[in-house]
Amino acid sequence: MATQPKHDVIIIGAGIIGLAIAHYVQQTGRKVTLVDRKGVAQEASFGNAGAFALADIFPLASPGIMRKAPKWLLDPLGPLSVRPQYALNIVPYLLKFFRASWPDQYRKSIVAQSALLDLSASEVDRMAQIPQIGTQIRTDGALQLYESEREFAASQSSWQARLEFGIEFEHLDANRLADLQPGLSGHIKRATFIPKWQTVNDPFEFAQILWRMVQQDGGALITQEVQAISKAGEVMLANGDMLSGNHVVVAAGAWSHQLAKQVGDHIPLESERGYNTTLPVDAFDLKRQMIFGEHGFVMTPLSTGIRVGGAVEFAGLDAAPNYKRSEIMLQKAKRFMPDLKTEQGTQWMGFRPSLPDTLPAIGKSAHTPNVSYAFGHGHLGLTQCFATGKLMAELIDGQTPSLDLTPFNPSRF
């Protein structure tokens, strides 16, 4: 076993969260070393939907969701499912999820999420001033689509709530919808346009650009699996090497809770497995991201193709992918866009790290002072990456964070 010279800030995880933290930490004059078992952006940051979803303020755990959940869970290919063999494993998580759906906690989660998204919006704007970042961001807005007047009417309370938090939107008539997105089928009855919704050209390329910035500023990458973190904050690698750092940040996505447990922090993280298919660029003339909320999927125009994906599957980290879920979403997309060419697509599955109240864990370990956590962003990893980077850099540098971190305390459960 070899012990390397002491590092300054060690960041476990080279996904978009770890990369953003590295960038912001470097701006305070610190040196960073990223550690990842696969390399840069090889997990959820590789194939996500590519959106800065700055209007997505609502937690998945919402009042009334437990009445809907049994119907969803009985459909193995529906927008939310639990594999039968994993059902017992997830009971403790679901109990905390249920508590998070109570009106009092739900309201607190919305307020906290909105504050984090406000900080995210300002940091996205700031980072977009960097040419290599700004040229990767599109501000085309997004369309939330509805199949019926009933579905549209049911959405109105959520849009009214968004008004309270300053989110702009426009309910569309048929002509305005046709202008924003030609080629929709008659199955779409209504739509709402979110003008400030943003997407990136391609999430993997976006992460690679951020990594090159980190690398140019002196950041290093060790491609090794982390086997353990000691209660003294030392990091043991799979090859037997031991890393010692002034500060260690765990930003390893869906695997983070396993490392946190080793230093005594029990954080109820689960993986929301998401599926998608990326079709060729010419599969459809898609103008902007389309959100099919009732069906739990989105369609995103990327520089690398058209990505059709979403849904939530709880099956842990080890079960084989069930790509029938991707196929079902593609079939639904074809129903809404008859001219969509569904051939020659590339399927993918990724692990979204999610906590019961939909808020990430951002803060210090309760047991090891030089270990901090930044994980559990669920569907909003890309959206919240720059805000998380700023907050973690402030914590490590001993500054007062730009946001009250109490709602994101890793020990809140």
The answer for residues whose C-beta is within 8 angstroms of residue 261's C-beta and 6 or more apart is 267
The pLDDT, as a whole number, for residue 250 is 98
pLDDT at 112 exceeding the cut of 60:
yes
Mean pLDDT score of the chain: 94
Burial 5-44 (b: 16+ CB within 10 A, else e): eebebbbbbbbbbbbbbbbbbbeeebbbbbbbbeebbbbb
**Could you give the percent of the chain with pLDDT greater than 90?**
86
Give how far the C-alpha of residue 330 lies from the chain's centroid of Cα atoms, to the nearest Å: 21
**Could you give the percent of the chain with pLDDT greater than 70?**
96
Question: What confidence category does residue 78 fall into, taking pLDDT thresholds of 50, 70 and 90?
Answer: confident
The pLDDT, as a whole number, for residue 233 is 81
The pLDDT, as a whole number, for residue 63 is 83
The pLDDT, as a whole number, for residue 294 is 86
The pLDDT, as a whole number, for residue 73 is 63
DSSP output for 12-73: E--SHHHHHHHHHHHHTT--EEEEESS-TT-STTTSS--EE-TT----SS-TTHHHHHHHHH
- Give 323-373 pLDDT, tens digit per residue: 999 999 999 999 999 999 999 999 999 999 999 999 999 999 999 989 999
- Give 50-76 pLDDT, tens digit per residue: 999 999 999 988 887 767 666 666 676
- Give 269-322 pLDDT, tens digit per residue: 999 999 999 999 999 999 999 999 888 899 999 999 999 999 889 999 999 999
The pLDDT, as a whole number, for residue 70 is 67
Pairing assessment for the beta strands 346-354 and 245-250 based on DSSP bridges? unpaired
Can you tell me the mean pLDDT for 253-258? Answer: 97
- Give 192-237 pLDDT, tens digit per residue: 999 999 999 999 999 999 999 999 999 999 999 999 998 788 999 9
- Give 10-24 pLDDT, tens digit per residue: 999 999 999 999 999
Burial of 241 (0-12, 13-18, 19+ CB in 10 A): middle
The secondary structure of residue 356, as a DSSP letter, is T
pLDDT at 155 exceeding the cut of 70:
yes
Question: What confidence category does residue 3 fall into, taking pLDDT thresholds of 50, 70 and 90?
Answer: low
Question: What confidence category does residue 84 fall into, taking pLDDT thresholds of 50, 70 and 90?
Answer: confident
The pLDDT, as a whole number, for residue 77 is 73
The pLDDT, as a whole number, for residue 312 is 87
pTM to 2 decimals? 0.96
Return the sign of the alpha-carbon dihedral for residues 179, 180, 186, 190.
Answer: negative
Radius of gyration of the chain (CA): 21
The pLDDT, as a whole number, for residue 232 is 82
